[in-house]
Amino acid sequence: MSKLSLDAIVQSQGFGSRKWCRKLIADGEVSVGGVTITDYRAKFETAGLPFTLFGETWEYREHVYIALNKPADYECSRKPSHHPGVLTLLPEQFAWRDVQPVGRLDHDTTGLLLLSDDGPFIHAQSSPKRHLPKVYVATTQEPVTPELVGLLLAGVQLHDEPAPLSAVSCRAIAECQLEIVLEQGKYHQVKRMLAAAGNHCSALRRSAIGGLTLEALGLAEGEWCYLGEAQLALLKLSEGL
């Protein structure tokens, strides 16, 4: 276990600069175990440490792993250009501790989005070598036919790809809706595959990444939650990548 001074603890959780955190502590805004601490040099074991700031209790986390049910018209960028960024849906301190989206969903695509401040985790989850299946529900402009499903399973050729791209699985779930599972994660892949197969994607939602599903998380659009060890394990492949 590691011990850190209280100012280092508060700063590491995204509540401002070291100087600002020391002022918060000196002003009596921080308590640990129900006791107000005004000495920023006081040290505490960090593992699972709860502390209260401005009357709200937080638990120390070396890194945060977050699932968000992304609504439409939010950009997966720290510097959005045309729509609000997804970080505006999270507590402000997450931006201070450099939380960022793991991969991207288009501004009009909804559903499961991961965010973290753990660089190796972000890199591993974003790596095209992982082949972690992602499940999407696409609403189509034209009815879903057996021929369309067959084309998506067999593979369609996109203009800038050297070889056809195919779905891991694909099935119709309504007259104009299908569930498609992909491993590649190419730019606008579902939309472009549907267009190449002769249809058009009018709405898209990501419902699962690996074994982690929105249904199990129970998040309404715009809601988020921390991911624990059991949930993070659902994002790992059997070979440990």
Q: Is 71 exposed, middle or buried (0-12, 13-18, 19+ CB in 10 A)?
A: middle
Q: By 3-state DSSP, what share of the chain in percent is helix, strand and coil, each rounded to 5?
A: 25, 30, 45
φ and ψ at 210, to 5 degrees? 55, -130
First to last CA, the chain: 26
DSSP readout, 189-221? HHHHHHHHTT--EEEEEEEEETTEEHHHHTPPT
Catalytically annotated residue among 27, 73, 106, 118? 106
Give Cα 104 distance to the centre of its chain: 9
With CA atoms as reference, report the closest residue to 27 among 7, 3, 12: 7
Residue 57 pairs in a beta bridge with 52
What is the Cα Rg of the chain in Å? 22
Question: Measured between alpha carbons, how far is 41 from 25 in angstroms, rounded to an integer?
Answer: 10
Give yes or no: 106 in active site: yes
One-letter amino acid of 157: Q
Indicate which residues carry an active-site annotation: 106
